[in-house]
Amino acid sequence: MDARLDLLANPVVGKALKHLMAAGKAVKESTVPAATQELVALRVSQINGCAACIDMHTKEAALAGETPLRLNLVVAWREATVFTEAERAALELAEEGTRTADAAGGVSDEVWERAALHYDEAELTALVLHIGFMNMANRMNVMTRQPAGDYVPGRFH
Protein backbone atom coordinates (compact mmCIF):
# COMPACT_ATOMS: atom_id res chain seq x y z
CA MET A 1 0.00 0.00 0.00
CA ASP A 2 1.22 3.47 -0.84
CA ALA A 3 0.59 6.43 1.43
CA ARG A 4 -1.55 9.23 0.04
CA LEU A 5 0.80 11.79 1.58
CA ASP A 6 4.33 11.52 2.91
CA LEU A 7 3.60 13.08 6.27
CA LEU A 8 7.20 13.01 7.44
CA ALA A 9 8.42 14.91 4.37
CA ASN A 10 5.70 17.57 4.45
CA PRO A 11 6.93 20.93 5.85
CA VAL A 12 3.51 21.84 7.28
CA VAL A 13 3.32 18.53 9.12
CA GLY A 14 6.93 18.95 10.21
CA LYS A 15 6.17 22.28 11.88
CA ALA A 16 3.06 20.93 13.57
CA LEU A 17 4.76 17.71 14.70
CA LYS A 18 7.53 19.68 16.37
CA HIS A 19 4.95 21.23 18.69
CA LEU A 20 2.98 18.01 19.12
CA MET A 21 6.14 16.08 19.98
CA ALA A 22 6.96 18.70 22.63
CA ALA A 23 3.48 18.31 24.11
CA GLY A 24 3.79 14.53 23.89
CA LYS A 25 7.05 14.72 25.81
CA ALA A 26 5.17 16.19 28.76
CA VAL A 27 2.85 13.19 28.72
CA LYS A 28 5.78 10.74 28.43
CA GLU A 29 7.46 12.41 31.41
CA SER A 30 4.33 12.18 33.57
CA THR A 31 4.10 9.69 36.40
CA VAL A 32 1.73 7.47 34.40
CA PRO A 33 3.80 4.29 33.94
CA ALA A 34 5.39 3.97 30.50
CA ALA A 35 3.85 0.51 30.10
CA THR A 36 0.39 1.94 30.71
CA GLN A 37 1.01 4.70 28.18
CA GLU A 38 2.00 2.16 25.53
CA LEU A 39 -0.96 -0.12 26.30
CA VAL A 40 -3.32 2.86 25.99
CA ALA A 41 -1.69 3.95 22.72
CA LEU A 42 -2.01 0.43 21.36
CA ARG A 43 -5.67 0.07 22.37
CA VAL A 44 -6.68 3.44 20.90
CA SER A 45 -4.88 2.53 17.68
CA GLN A 46 -6.60 -0.85 17.54
CA ILE A 47 -10.03 0.77 17.89
CA ASN A 48 -9.23 3.29 15.17
CA GLY A 49 -7.68 0.70 12.84
CA CYS A 50 -4.39 2.59 12.58
CA ALA A 51 -1.91 -0.04 11.41
CA ALA A 52 1.05 2.36 11.49
CA CYS A 53 0.44 3.21 15.15
CA ILE A 54 -0.24 -0.41 16.09
CA ASP A 55 3.12 -1.27 14.51
CA MET A 56 4.87 1.56 16.34
CA HIS A 57 3.39 1.05 19.79
CA THR A 58 3.67 -2.74 19.75
CA LYS A 59 7.38 -2.43 18.96
CA GLU A 60 7.98 0.43 21.43
CA ALA A 61 6.22 -1.53 24.17
CA ALA A 62 8.24 -4.66 23.41
CA LEU A 63 11.46 -2.66 23.46
CA ALA A 64 10.44 -1.30 26.87
CA GLY A 65 10.02 -4.86 28.15
CA GLU A 66 6.33 -5.53 27.57
CA THR A 67 5.57 -9.22 27.06
CA PRO A 68 4.08 -10.70 23.87
CA LEU A 69 1.27 -12.20 25.97
CA ARG A 70 0.12 -8.83 27.30
CA LEU A 71 0.51 -7.13 23.91
CA ASN A 72 -1.59 -9.83 22.26
CA LEU A 73 -4.29 -9.55 24.91
CA VAL A 74 -4.74 -5.76 24.81
CA VAL A 75 -7.49 -6.20 22.23
CA ALA A 76 -9.41 -8.38 24.74
CA TRP A 77 -8.27 -6.73 27.97
CA ARG A 78 -11.65 -7.14 29.70
CA GLU A 79 -11.36 -10.93 29.63
CA ALA A 80 -7.61 -11.07 30.23
CA THR A 81 -6.17 -11.59 33.70
CA VAL A 82 -2.73 -10.15 32.91
CA PHE A 83 -3.52 -6.47 33.49
CA THR A 84 -3.53 -4.58 36.79
CA GLU A 85 -6.66 -2.78 37.97
CA ALA A 86 -4.95 0.55 37.21
CA GLU A 87 -4.13 -0.58 33.66
CA ARG A 88 -7.69 -1.81 33.19
CA ALA A 89 -9.03 1.58 34.33
CA ALA A 90 -6.73 3.36 31.86
CA LEU A 91 -7.75 1.04 29.02
CA GLU A 92 -11.43 1.58 29.81
CA LEU A 93 -10.91 5.35 29.85
CA ALA A 94 -9.09 5.09 26.52
CA GLU A 95 -11.92 3.10 24.97
CA GLU A 96 -14.69 5.44 26.06
CA GLY A 97 -12.58 8.49 25.20
CA THR A 98 -11.99 7.10 21.72
CA ARG A 99 -15.51 5.86 21.06
CA THR A 100 -17.19 9.15 21.91
CA ALA A 101 -19.75 8.84 19.13
CA ASP A 102 -20.59 5.27 20.20
CA ALA A 103 -20.60 6.13 23.89
CA ALA A 104 -23.32 8.78 23.41
CA GLY A 105 -22.06 11.25 25.96
CA GLY A 106 -18.39 10.48 26.06
CA VAL A 107 -16.74 9.05 29.14
CA SER A 108 -19.22 7.91 31.77
CA ASP A 109 -18.95 9.02 35.39
CA GLU A 110 -18.37 5.40 36.42
CA VAL A 111 -15.39 5.00 34.07
CA TRP A 112 -13.94 8.34 35.18
CA GLU A 113 -14.36 7.41 38.85
CA ARG A 114 -12.61 4.05 38.33
CA ALA A 115 -9.70 5.83 36.66
CA ALA A 116 -9.59 8.41 39.47
CA LEU A 117 -9.14 5.59 41.99
CA HIS A 118 -5.75 4.81 40.42
CA TYR A 119 -4.55 8.12 38.97
CA ASP A 120 -4.28 11.56 40.52
CA GLU A 121 -5.37 14.74 38.73
CA ALA A 122 -2.03 15.26 36.97
CA GLU A 123 -2.00 11.65 35.78
CA LEU A 124 -5.62 11.83 34.60
CA THR A 125 -4.69 14.97 32.67
CA ALA A 126 -1.75 13.15 31.09
CA LEU A 127 -4.00 10.21 30.15
CA VAL A 128 -6.62 12.51 28.62
CA LEU A 129 -3.93 14.29 26.58
CA HIS A 130 -2.38 10.99 25.53
CA ILE A 131 -5.72 9.55 24.41
CA GLY A 132 -6.48 12.74 22.49
CA PHE A 133 -3.05 12.80 20.82
CA MET A 134 -3.37 9.15 19.85
CA ASN A 135 -6.78 9.71 18.31
CA MET A 136 -5.41 12.62 16.27
CA ALA A 137 -2.38 10.64 15.08
CA ASN A 138 -4.56 7.64 14.22
CA ARG A 139 -6.92 9.76 12.18
CA MET A 140 -4.10 11.44 10.26
CA ASN A 141 -2.49 8.09 9.50
CA VAL A 142 -5.73 6.37 8.51
CA MET A 143 -6.83 9.23 6.25
CA THR A 144 -3.49 9.25 4.46
CA ARG A 145 -3.11 5.45 4.45
CA GLN A 146 0.25 5.32 6.18
CA PRO A 147 1.76 1.85 5.72
CA ALA A 148 2.78 -0.36 8.62
CA GLY A 149 5.43 -2.95 9.24
CA ASP A 150 8.74 -1.13 8.91
CA TYR A 151 8.71 1.03 12.03
CA VAL A 152 12.02 1.01 13.90
CA PRO A 153 11.68 1.50 17.68
CA GLY A 154 13.03 4.81 18.95
CA ARG A 155 12.49 6.57 15.62
CA PHE A 156 10.69 9.52 17.20
CA HIS A 157 12.63 9.83 20.45
Digit-coded pLDDT (tens) for 57-115: 999 999 989 999 999 999 999 999 999 999 999 999 999 999 988 767 789 999 999 99
**pLDDT, position 103:** 66
Q: Are 134 and 53 in contact (CB under 8 A)?
A: yes
Indicate whether 155 belongs to any domain: no
Q: Are 80 and 26 in contact (CB under 8 A)?
A: no
Give the domain range for residue 38: 7-143
Nearest to 48 by CA among 142, 146, 145: 142
Nearest to 71 by CA among 61, 63, 56: 61
pLDDT surpasses 80 at 42: yes
Predicted TM-score (pTM) of this structure: 0.91
Report the number of distinct structural domains present in the chain: 1
Indicate whether 115 belongs to any domain: yes
Q: Tell me how many helices (H) and strands (E) the chain has.
A: 8, 0
Average pLDDT over residues 114-131: 98
Indicate whether 150 belongs to any domain: no
Indicate whether 84 belongs to any domain: yes
Indicate whether 108 belongs to any domain: yes
Instruction: Supply the CATH number for residue 68's domain.
Output: 1.20.1290.10
pLDDT bucket at 44, cuts 50 / 70 / 90: very high
